[in-house]
Amino acid sequence: MEEAERRKATNETLFRAVNEQIERLQKPFALTDTEPLHIVCECDSLTCAQRITVPVEAYELTRADPTQFFVCPGHEDKEVEDVIDTGGDYLIVRKHPGVPERIARDTDPRNG
């Protein structure tokens, strides 16, 4: 089970890194500081390309905890994470303690 957890957590951290780049690119072009971000789902499926619209404030609050990720409803994986909040069109999930949490913390682009 640990290898499956590791793969899933690694896939999700890849999408988080993509979204951090999207945020860096989108912010300078936003008309206001509150213009929502358009990010990709951070689920563990490498074939998922669904988009999520997230308010900047929710994005920053979620990113303050490296174990939290944005996923589309139905894309959460109870084996490695718990749903902790919902924004309507998206869910915020938190990695379980152990391998998923450790990978999320170790690969946090804001803590590097």
How large is the average pLDDT for residues 61-82? 96
> pLDDT band at residue 111, thresholds of 50, 70 and 90?
confident
Query: Across residues 59-81, what is the average pLDDT?
Result: 95
Helix (H, G, I), strand (E, B) or coil at 87: coil
HSE toward the beta carbon, residue 22, CA cutoff 13 A:
19
**Is pLDDT above 90 for 12?**
no
Strand pairing report for 81-86 and 68-71: unpaired
Task: Say what the pLDDT of residue 93 is.
Answer: 97
Give the model confidence (pLDDT) of 23-50 as tens digits.
Answer: 887 766 665 566 788 999 999 998 998 9
User: What are the domain boundaries of the chain?
Assistant: 2-111
- What mean pLDDT value characterizes the chain? 89
This prediction's pTM: 0.84
